[in-house]
Structure 1
Amino acid sequence: MYDISIVLLLVFVLASYVQSVTGFAFGLIVMSVAGLFSLAPLEVVAFSVSALSLVNATTGLYGGVWRQVNTKNLIVYFIASLPAIALGVYLLGYFGDSSLHWLQLLLGVTIILACVLSLIKPKVGEKPSRPWVYFVFGGLSGILGGLFATSGPPISYLMYRQPVSISVIRATLLSVFFVSCLLRIIIMAVGGQITTPMILLSVVGFPCVLITSLFAKRYPPNISTQVIKRIALFLLLLSGVSLTLKALF
């Protein structure tokens, strides 16, 4: 029987609460804490993040929100993202525990860069980005999504530079997260990489995420979303630096 860490389930709760309040960081928080304290193998945690993020994205797209997505650019994005996700999944399985310090180093650097991107307020462009820009960002997001189920930072940065409404940005990002997580799970299933620990962790983590999301929606915090976001980014940055130092030394 796979021994699931109670601490990891508490991390699911914390990450889900932050995600519900601020709209970001579920995967980054879970992966950073799990990697820093070695709560579970990274490939197991990454799968559970994909499965649980899929549930969150489905809920967010419910009610026709997906109709606001710019389908043309999203198709270009996934033309690059699909093979990149497959490559990331392959690299994670290839290196595994035998090169754990390299994976920790890469995850730490990824988290640091994600925090930097989140702190930089993108300047909204006068014109929408061309399709080739979505192609490039699709490749970058795909690699991160395949490796650590954290495809969000690059595409989020790109979308917030577009001269479109917040509702369109939100719908596009939710669609990206939904399709990316679904593709990652399908790729792993086809490759026979889904294991019992991955399924168990996802099943046990589901009520943690669902109940926390409902609680955060019904009882929002008294402090502003921006304050919570800054606290989360600060903690993430510390985790990223700690992971990087742990891998190097």
Structure 2
Amino acid sequence: MQDVSIWLLLVFILGSYVQSITGFAFGLIVMSVVGLFSLVPLDIAAFAVSVLSMTNAATGLYGGAWKQVNAKNLLVFFISSTPMIVIGVYLLDYFGKNALNWLQLFLGITIILACLMSLIKPKKSTEPSGSSGYFVFGALSGILGGLFSTAGPPISYFMYRQPISIEVIRSTLLSVFFVANVLRITIMGGSGQITMPMVWISLIGFPCVVITALLAKRYPPKISPQIIKRIALALLLLSGVSLSLKALL
């Protein structure tokens, strides 16, 4: 049975808290800290992030929010993202076993790029993007989702450029996160990559994430969510640079 350190549980709590307040960064926070301090292997952390993010997305969609999603565009997204999730899962397994430094470097670069994308305020398009846009960003999200369970940054940037209501954007993103994580878990299960340590850490992390999310909603901080988001982005950017340097040195 995989030992679970108190530090890993604290990382789950921190990620859930920031996610609940700002709607941002659970997976990035968990993967960055785990990668930087080697709390658990990256494949175990990524699986736990998949399970916990899927749970969070399902909670957000409960009550009919999923009805606002454009099913056609979502289908195009998953046509392109599904094979890329398969490739990402394969690359995670391969580099985790054969070239861990390269995997850490990829994670560091992913975190840096995700932070930079979050700092750039997307300019609204005058017309909704066509299917080709969902196809391209679906592929980008798929590879990151398969590798590190961090599919959010590319598709979030793309969606917030669309001239549609914020409710539709949020519902679409929650649907993307839910289905992408279901696919990732299914692909891992079908290839026999799910291990007991992955399941155990996901189970232990579940109450940490749920209880923290409920408390954060009930007792919101007096600090502005935007300030919390900026602090989280600064720390993530620092951890991404540190992780990249760690991999190179």
Common fold: TM-score over 0.5: yes
Deviates more, 1:93-102 or 1:134-143: 93-102
Q: Aligned partners of 2:212 and 2:197: how far apart in 1?
A: 23
Name the structure 2 match of 1:196: 196
Q: Aligned partners of 2:34 and 2:23: how far apart in 1?
A: 21
Name the structure 2 match of 1:140: 140
| Residue 195 (structure 2) pairs with residue 181 (structure 1) | no
Name the structure 1 match of 2:241: 241
Counting only pairs closer than 5 Å after superposition, residues 111-150 of structure 1 correspond to structure 2 as 111-150=111-150
Name the structure 2 match of 1:107: 107
Q: Aligned partners of 2:97 and 2:5: how far apart in 1?
A: 18
| Residue 149 (structure 2) pairs with residue 171 (structure 1) | no
Shift, 1:98, TM fit:
2.6
Name the structure 2 match of 1:158: 158
Q: Aligned partners of 2:42 and 2:5: how far apart in 1?
A: 14
- How many residues are treated as equivalent by the alignment? 249
Q: Aligned partners of 1:38 and 1:188: how far apart in 2?
A: 22
| Letter paired with 1:168 | V
Q: Aligned partners of 2:229 and 2:36: how far apart in 1?
A: 21
| Letter paired with 2:49 | V
Shift, 1:8, TM fit:
0.7
Partner SS for 2:186: helix
Name the structure 2 match of 1:226: 226
CA RMSD of aligned residues (A): 0.6
Name the structure 2 match of 1:4: 4
Shift, 1:126, TM fit:
0.3
Q: Aligned partners of 2:188 and 2:64: how far apart in 1?
A: 29
| Letter paired with 1:42 | L
Shift, 1:147, TM fit:
0.3
| Residue 18 (structure 2) pairs with residue 18 (structure 1) | yes
Name the structure 2 match of 1:45: 45
Q: Aligned partners of 1:95 and 1:26: how far apart in 2?
A: 23
| Letter paired with 1:179 | V
Partner SS for 1:220: coil
Note the alpha carbon deviations across 1:127-184, whole angstroms, 9 max, x for none. 0011011100000000000000000000000000000000000000000000000000
Counting only pairs closer than 5 Å after superposition, residues 58-137 of structure 1 correspond to structure 2 as 58-137=58-137
Shift, 1:5, TM fit:
1.6
| Letter paired with 2:18 | V
Q: Aligned partners of 1:5 and 1:37: how far apart in 2?
A: 12
Shift, 1:2, TM fit:
1.4
Shift, 1:3, TM fit:
1.0
Shift, 1:96, TM fit:
1.2
Name the structure 1 match of 2:210: 210
Q: Aligned partners of 1:60 and 1:205: how far apart in 2?
A: 18
Partner SS for 2:200: helix
Q: Aligned partners of 2:7 and 2:166: how far apart in 1?
A: 35
Q: Aligned partners of 2:98 and 2:2: how far apart in 1?
A: 21
Name the structure 2 match of 1:27: 27
Q: TM-score, normalised by structure 2?
A: 0.99
| Letter paired with 2:150 | T
Detail structure 1 runs of 4+ shifted over 6 Å in the superposition. Answer: none
Shift, 1:97, TM fit:
3.7
Q: Aligned partners of 2:69 and 2:31: how far apart in 1?
A: 28
Q: Aligned partners of 2:159 and 2:214: how far apart in 1?
A: 27
List gaps (5 residues or longer) in structure 2: none
| Letter paired with 1:153 | P
